[in-house]
Amino acid sequence: MNLKQAREIFENSLLALNSDCVIVEGATREYSRCFVFFYQSKKFIETGDVRAMLGGNGPVFVNRENGRVFEAGSAFPVCHYVKAFEACGDPLGQLTEKVKIFSLNPGANRVRAIQSVKEKSEMGLSQAKAVIDNVQANGASYFTALTVEYAEQAVVALKESGFDSVQLWSNQC
């Protein structure tokens, strides 16, 4: 999908429902998986009168692959929503406590990896060992860390142990 097509989708969705709004020209951004559009009230664009300015309206994302439209929030900087969209296809996606371990590299330190999984989750030693054994046997394994921050730390620790892993987002399995 190109910018012209994405703009048309944006105009026919959100702007068609809000006839008093217009696209903010020159503010559109293009990313690998989406286009990001910004809009504002016509009156503010025409007059610059801050009393006519919309507040709390976040950017609108158009998925490059399927044209799906997402309204993002205004609580975070745009880069936060872009990062979420690029990672999971949803600007409102959130990192979770879930970790997917998908491979081990030659020379991986299994003992250290088991310790990391045990420390960052509520698992006992045998459960953590089963998670790591499952990576070797099936090529992937999952576990849930105690917190989102622990999941992030587990990914780092697993990498240092020779295992490839990712922290999952709210709309991922």
Domains and CATH numbers, the chain: 3-88 (3.10.450), 95-169 (3.30.1390.10)
Per-residue pLDDT, 95 = 92
pLDDT 10s digits, 72-127: 989 999 999 999 999 888 999 999 999 999 999 999 999 999 999 999 999 999 99
pLDDT 10s digits, 116-169: 999 999 999 999 999 999 998 988 999 999 999 999 999 999 999 999 999 999
pLDDT 10s digits, 16-64: 888 899 999 999 999 999 999 999 999 999 999 999 999 989 999 999 9
Per-residue pLDDT, 1 = 93
Per-residue pLDDT, 18 = 83
Per-residue pLDDT, 172 = 64
Per-residue pLDDT, 27 = 96
Q: What is the pTM of this model?
A: 0.73
Per-residue pLDDT, 24 = 95
The string over 114-148, giving b where at least 16 C-beta atoms fall within 10 Å of a residue's C-beta and e elsewhere, is: bbbbbebbebeeeebbbbbeebeeeeebebebeee
